[in-house]
Structure 1
Amino acid sequence: MTTAVETFEALRRRLTGALAVPGEPLYAELATGFNVAIAATPAAVVEARDARDVAEAVRFAAATGRAVAVQATGHGLAGPLDGAILLHTRRLDECVVHPDGWARVGAGVRWQQVLDAAAPHGLAPLCGSATGVGVVGYTTGGGLGPVARTFGWASDRVRAIEIVTGDGVARRVTAVDEPELFWGVRGGKGALGVVTALEFDLVPLPSLYAGALYFAGADASVVMHRWREWSSALPPEATTSLALLQLPPMPGVPEPLAGTFTVAVRFAWTGTPESGEAVLAPLRAAAAPLIDAVRTIPYAAIGMVHADPPGPMPALEETDLLSSLPAEAVDALLAVAGPDARSPQVIVELRQLGGALAAEPAHPSALCHRDAAFVLTIIGVPAPPVAEAIVPHAAALRSALAPWATGGALPNHGAAAGQERIARSYDPATLARLTSLAERYDPANVLRAGQVPLRSAA
């Protein structure tokens, strides 16, 4: 009987990096994702050292009928990866910031590395709210960050992509060279290949007026309705979100927020601090904040705006896009997830879209739903005593907001796989074009285990 080690020995000999199978310490280390509610069980993990390792693993998968998945931080893990080869990219750690306004990073780089490298030049990458997230997965899924209404989607700032497509070929992709792939990778996540490096533009923004206001749960209705009215007139210099929080008492959670229901209003302003303070004044006056953490900060500290958890945790997520947020929608949300609703969710968040996010990019991409007004994200932690209530409650919350839902979803929000989710992430024309590209560039369908599996295993 052939063992797992013997099965992969031929691939191991071709690699510069490492290969691990179940039972080996490196396998246990690399197969674990950020969301520990999902137990990944790939047949083997390849810790790639360069693009050649990636190509070897992809070609081996095609030759042996296996699927390939890719992971840098594990934030996008959406399934168990049974029988697949998991490509781990943490060793692809090149990070170079050019003072004239652009960066080149490897697939293993996290946003905080780019933030720190760009700061001495007064430059800013369009990172996400959690700066420990990997650059590549975030950007290829669109990239919705704390200053997105000013500067738009991160994927629209990409100037070049280095990728090993599903046929095992390493390619350099730009708007001029391989324009079809340039369209599809930006928004299509890992549907067409394994990205090994990205080059993208930065923006000149050494600091900004940003942070969060935290209010008591008793003020949730007043704050939410004020936020709804206030946000409807915001200029594109402002990006904001609101979250209903039930944070557990644990290290890193401030005392006024731990173990109780609170409301967070996040705010990032790219104009002058004085004008930002004036714009935020109506929210500050809505109720007395428990914590007022809005101030001028270095852009490299932008992770404090959302204060997302830095370490792995179990989570169940759901998401929807909303076309509008009238007062009736706020009341419907509060009825199901407000302070008196006994919601089991840790976070129920609304992010305002619009501004630069609604603009057409210089180079079209596979990213859809640019006309949505808000994105709803529901996050529950499956732990006693609320574990069994999380999924049905999330369904009830989505049902309550269904009159304002578009039916769509962003690829990066509420990580999930399956045809139903794919259909929500892309309009029919985009999905058909992506599928056609996948048939061309991934003839053996090795990328079927990723977060955007355009074709089934059959």
Structure 2
Amino acid sequence: MRNIQTPDGGPVAGHDLASLAARIRGRTFLPGDEGFEESCSGWLLTVEHRPAAVVVAADAGDVAAAVRFAAETGRPVAVQSTGHGASVPADGAVFIATGELRELSVDPAAATARIGAGLRWDDVVAAAAGHGLAPLCGSSGQVGVMGFLTGGGLPLACRTYGFAAGHVRSLDVVTADGLQRTVSPDREPDLFWAVRGGKSNFGVVVAAEIELLPLRTVYGGELRYPAEDPAYAAHVLRSYLAWAREQPEEMSSSVTLLRLPDLPQLPEEFRGRAFVQVRLLWAGDEERGARLVEPLRALGPELDTCGAMPYTRVTEIHQDPKGPVSAHLRSALLRDLDDDAVAELVSFIGPSATGGPFPGIELRHLGGALDRPPARPHAVSTQGAEFLLWMRLPGPSGQADAARRTADGILGRLRRWDTGTMLPGFLFDHDSTPERVRRAYTAAAHRRLATLKARYDPAQVFRVNHNIPPLTS
């Protein structure tokens, strides 16, 4: 009998893992197997996994079998589709890769889509567009649907329609007992509430039914301003903030402050330059949208891509990277920003900000529909914040500590405007302690989540995540 050493140092009997493979229709990989590392790698390269075994699930039955095996053998379960939300190393876990669960159907009469766990938003956007419909996706079409929905889902049209979690009809979830449950407002409504915002704490979502919206075209794009002159950069940022406060709910927008290094691999027009980038999506009448954007155009952008576009192109607005990245990601929820906040923010990309790593600091405007109770209540809320701050800093090998220090410094200088809260869909590796996870929920929501964790996963089978420990008293 072959013995295998797991990454956490414990022995795994060969027949034990052989019994796992015998239960699975898809593929099973052990450490050292060809395909093992590739199968548990993902978009975010800064989190490395060393699981005991990888199950590339062929169907929901494989997911259930892998969860039962993990529970029987006392191992945790990790789950991944694309790896955009990788946060906690899956060392010693049964790692379930859901990328091959690619069910997709659109019901144009009901304006719904049924989506398998392996799909990305680009897949769903394309399928829905054939019927004149659209899903509430985020800025990247490469993000996995289930990770987005279980984190609450902050869509590009967030101020108009609220969180994507509020537009979910039902979910198929494999819970810690290995059972597949269909949850909805009428079937196990507590679990339905918890999974939409509670991330992977309550099970593996293998399929979802979501609402689609009658959006064929929208008005949107990017306005890019040169920011080498700090006074002009501050003027643009102040003007954007004043403009955003006056916008109706049909206007969702963000502003990014960015300084790029002087590297030969960058296009010449970007090398060593700084920018303020405004991105927007207007979900209303095209002519009115164009009129509302005029004050931003009057500021003199060097690039203006705003115009009517098919919804199939909305994920091009932010130009998020499609390939894997090594980056340090951080976030915070901020209150309204004054002139002092503008000065601090502009200083991070000013001429004195030499060296690296260079941060990309995005502020996504909240409010609107996000502040209203959803028709289908879920666990996520903005907790009254005005902006989501999201930072991405290059963190390749040897630079990770520098990226963390830079991020700590930025957040420290912005503490006056930090609400002390977060969004569950924007928790990253730095936010994996229970104390920081608690900041992503109201006190009442976190207590309810912990109570439901005790009911559905008291043994913490699902703990390779932003963990919500079960309530014990």
Please give the TM-score of this superposition, normalised by the length of structure 2. 0.92
Counterpart residue number, 1:289: 301
Aligned to 2:143: 133
Q: Find the counterpart in structure 2 of residue 170 from structure 1.
A: 180
Aligned to 2:240: 227
Name the aligned partner's letter for residue 124 of structure 1.
Answer: A
Q: CA deviation at 1:262?
A: 1.4
Contact 2:327 2:395 in 1 (8 A): yes
Q: Distance in 1 between matches of 2:262 and 2:313?
A: 24
Identity across the alignment (%): 42
Q: Amino acid of the residue matched to residue 3 of structure 2?
A: T
2:326 is aligned to 314
| Counterpart check, 1:15 vs 2:24 | yes
Where in structure 2 are the equivalents of 1:294-443 lying within 5 Å?
294-342=306-354, 344-383=357-396, 387-416=400-429, 417-443=432-458
Give per-residue Cα distances to partners, 1:407-430, cap 9 Å, x unaligned: 111111142322122111122221
Amino acid across the alignment from 1:204: P
Cα offset for 1:291?
Answer: 1.6
Q: Any idea what SS the aligned residue of 1:449 has?
A: coil
Determine if contact 1:55/1:164 at 8 Å carries over to the other structure.
yes
Instruction: Measure, in 2, the Cα distance between the counterparts of 1:167 and 1:132.
Output: 31
User: How far apart in 1 are the matches of 2:377 and 2:207?
Assistant: 20
Question: 1:176–1:258: structure 2 CA closer, same or farther, 3 Å change rule?
Answer: farther
Matched, 1:272 2:273: no
Q: Distance in 1 between matches of 2:273 and 2:225?
A: 11
1:155 partner SS: helix
CA 1:453–1:345: 2 relative to 1, 3 Å: farther
State the Cα distance separating 1:33 from its structure 2 match. Answer: 1.5
2:263 is the counterpart of 1:262: no
Q: Aligned pair 1:206/2:216, yes or no?
A: yes
Q: SS at the partner of 1:448?
A: coil
**Unpaired segments of 5 or more residues in structure 2?**
5-11
**1:35 and 2:47 correspond:** no
Aligned partners of 1:448 and 1:455 also within 8 Å: no
SS of 2:3's partner is coil
1:105 Cα deviation after fit: 0.1
Q: Which moved more, 1:229-238 or 1:365-374?
A: 365-374
> What CA deviation, in whole Å up to 9, does each residue of 1:27-80 have, x standing for no partner?
111111211111111111111111111111111111111000110000011021
1:59 corresponds in structure 2 to: 68
The number of residues matched between the two structures is 455
* 1:183 matches 2:193: yes
- Tell me which amino acid in the other structure corresponds to 1:181: L
Could you say what secondary structure the match of 2:436 adopts? helix
For 2:215 and 2:383, how far apart are their aligned partners in 1? 24
What residue is the counterpart of 2:8 in the other structure? none
> Taking structure 1 as reference, are residues 107 and 399 closer, same or farther at Cα in structure 2, changes over 3 Å only?
same
In the alignment, structure 1 segments of 5+ residues that lack a partner are none
1:328 Cα deviation from its structure 2 partner? 1.9
Residues 187-215 of structure 1 deviation map (CA, whole Å, 9 limit, x = unaligned): 11111110000001011110111111111
| CA 453–21 in structure 1, closer or farther in 2 if over 3 Å, else same | farther
Which of 239, 249, 271 matches 2:252? 239
2:7 aligns to what? none
Q: Is contact 1:244–1:338 with CA below 8 Å preserved after alignment?
A: no
Q: Deviations over 1:134-170 (max 9, x none)?
A: 0011011111121111111100000101000112111
TM-score, normalised to structure 1, is 0.95
Give the deviation of 1:431 after TM superposition.
1.4
Deviation at 1:455, TM superposition (A): 5.2
Cα separation, 2, equivalents of 1:94 and 1:259? 45
